[in-house]
A and B are shown apart, each in its own frame.
Chain A
């Protein structure tokens, strides 16, 4: 595998990254736009995600079914994702069909129609998507906690948007958002796989070279570095299980603290993966919180979540309470473990173990070309590709002292939001 990354910037500002991987006759093409729910304003939440849906509805040049069938008939797969920080579109297909992906993406960068009837049809589809999410108590809990974890920053909103906004957004809102943010200077094209770089560059020039970049009006929120004020939110709903979510402020992805925090997360709740497509994970049965909470029968499950983001985000711990225990006992045991990691240095052996796990997780999905295309653009959304290639090395440079300091700085008991979902009619539990 050739680790070299080839970078070009076209005159219109489009950046092209190419990574040659010749293990299979496959290519994965990703177009990343610097737009996500982070750039939305109150009353217009869900715009970025809805625009993403409309990008599958056809252009002046190509119908929706042409787009869909031209990828599917090759055996390829394509999809799109909207996050708080970015929106991305990918196609993975036989290497000899790269041109099809580039033609399609260049066409819909500026040419999508946003037909009024299609906008209305998609409104109900997105409401249905949101209703599916609402069925899950963990979605409800996360939505309530994130709303309180930020005062104004849009990270407080779910990417899919608030229901009242989804009912009120207009075709003009959507089309304006699309025309403003979808242009070469706000995009990154990442190609990974069995590629001839010169041919790929020529095709990129052919399809994207004539697209003009216009002045971009980008809504940029002020980062909320300061942690949330302590708050507890209580939800009630159907079911028998009690869920707890605790959220603290986390460092942004492109910061020194992020790597120490990644080790901290791994020790507390187990290793998490940057893999988007397959590869599998590693269990967390010897993580500190599993041993302290699940082994001690205060919880039946624990997991953590930390994302590399442009602005400081949140680190969350989710717990499923043991039916015979109380929420207060569970939270008290959680606090004890956090105090321990803040007061007593972790060992170098623990860090070495976390680093080996991170290395293994990359190895498990390195045979998937689609992951490579994802990693290239993901790292560039908040840093650059060296963030990804240097990831394991930077984890290995974390010292026990850095982990202690990071735990003290971020995991403060007075600077977190606690959410509790209690089944209807149930008490908080008993010990």
Chain B
């Protein structure tokens, strides 16, 4: 095995991460990086889009988009003037299980930015003028997305694999459901679901822990929403049966996007780490692993062809994606299936495993050098209840994964005759 080129003590761990829970149900994690003049705030909180009323699909994202449209203290223009004049940024969006936010500022502006984040969460007014404007922007975005072959292949894949599960529905909803959503709906949804219970925030960068804790305690840590309702549990997914083939025809497209996949192991379960190592070999390592070698390097069929292992608290997928000329679509599908058959029938080589273990460990300091990388890692520690020493344990965890573990997990999750194959592009011949 390749020698480890850095000390694990340089990675975030219990001695330099501060974790504090607050009475309102929120948790703050912070790690200083005093060489940075900037501070990054990243977090997630309920609600997500998974529990929307079918008539109002897209409401969680619409609500998230409207939070910065004006508050009781600031009209739209005043609010953004204050944020942009600081040279700061604030973006809020909705995912399946949570609303996420990301904000950044120079270190001297942290208390002010945190106060503004609290203000947009607690005092949005959903002004009528902005409501109509943002609705038009969302509808335009959906119409642009409807011409995007990669997005349409993804959505076709999600529909086919998740079927009746809420994850089959695009998080942004549909044009006809967005049209049904009223300002009153947004106000009601905000009041009932957006709240600090379950909120997790990471603050990283040029700020000492006590300063970050104090600023958080005076802002988001003091937010209470007595009306906040808990989110229900997600239903289970239905098992896949056979090969499901879906194609979305889009006229006048030079390239077809392709997604082939199945369900992934549970992110918090014992199969996930072997799957992560195996996925590197399958379609990530170097120039996109075995898939890249076969589809791009040898056959020259695609500019990109790789595998992706999803993560999350709900059900996730394990996919191979590629962008190919329409006339090469079937050839690409055949090559990918050949690689999947090999992945599920043979042990990976000792050399592959050794190189990938080494890559995953060596990548840790690179992925954690920035405030953004550290903040994302801290959020994941809390999201998956991994403990503050998890990142430092990763090198030994990767070292413990065996070739047999990878083959077992590959066979469990990838079954050659039980797949979803989705594509979007010109009509199939």
Contacts and interface: CB of A to CB of B under 8 A. Distances in A.
Contacts of B140: 240-241, 300-301, 320, 323
Nearest to A25: B6
B365 A280 contact: no
Contacts of A284: 84
A286 B70 CA distance: 14
Contacts, number: 205
Interface residues of A, number: 75
Contacts of B362: 73-76, 93-94
A56 interface: yes
A331 to B, nearest CB: 18
A92 B373 CA distance: 15
A255 B324 CA distance: 43
B325 A26 contact: no
Interface in B82-107: 83-89, 91, 102, 104-106
Interface in A285-315: 285-286, 291, 294-295, 297, 300-301
B5 A282 contact: no
Contacts of A75: 358-366
Interface stretch (B30-38, B307-315, B336-344): B30-38
B285 interface: yes
Contacts of B148: 135-136
A131 B325 CA distance: 7
A72 B254 contact: no
Given A96-B5, A135-B254, A1 B35 contact: yes
A361 B143 contact: no
B143 A241 contact: yes
B188 interface: no
B89 A134 contact: no
A297 B133 contact: yes
B370 A367 contact: yes
Interface in A115-147: 120-132, 134-137
B42 to A, nearest CB: 11
Given A239-B147, A282-B84, A369 B369 contact: yes
Contacts of A126: 303
B38 A364 contact: yes
Contacts of B415: none
Interface in A351-409: 353, 356-357, 359-361, 363-369
B301 A124 contact: yes
B252 interface: yes
B147 A94 contact: no
A239 B83 CA distance: 34
Contacts of B38: 360, 363-364, 366-367
B133 A294 contact: yes
A69 interface: yes
A135 B366 contact: no
A364 B77 CA distance: 24
Contact of A360 (B2, B105, B360, B371): B105
A64 interface: yes
Contacts of A128: 255, 300-303, 323-325
A327 B370 CA distance: 43
A333 B44 CA distance: 39
B355 A69 contact: yes
Given A124-B300, A125-B303, A356 B5 contact: no
Interface stretch (B54-62, B158-166, B212-220, B291-299): B291-299
A74 B297 CA distance: 22
B347 interface: no
B37 A363 contact: yes
B89 A283 contact: yes
A339 interface: no
Nearest to A131: B254
A72 B297 contact: no
B253 to A, nearest CB: 5
A65 B2 CA distance: 17
A131 B256 CA distance: 9
Given A94-B5, A238-B251, A323-B140, A74 B372 contact: no
Contact of B300 (A68, A71, A120, A282): A120
Nearest to B324: A128
Contacts of A127: 325
28 contacts: A25-B10, A68-B286, A68-B287, A69-B285, A74-B362, A75-B366, A121-B299, A123-B300, A125-B296, A132-B304, A134-B254, A136-B148, A237-B252, A239-B144, A278-B370, A280-B102, A280-B372, A282-B89, A283-B84, A286-B84, A353-B85, A356-B85, A360-B38, A360-B106, A364-B40, A364-B104, A367-B36, A367-B369
Interface of A: 1, 23-26, 56, 64-65, 68-69, 71-77, 92-94, 96-97, 120-132, 134-137, 237-241, 270, 278, 280-286, 291, 294-295, 297, 300-301, 320, 322-323, 353, 356-357, 359-361, 363-369
Given A23-B369, A74-B2, 6 more contacts: A24-B10, A74-B5, A121-B299, A124-B300, A131-B254, A280-B104
Interface of B: 2, 5-6, 10, 33, 35-38, 40, 76-77, 80-81, 83-89, 91, 102, 104-106, 133, 136-137, 139-140, 143-144, 146-149, 205, 250-255, 285-287, 296-304, 323-325, 355-356, 358-366, 369-372
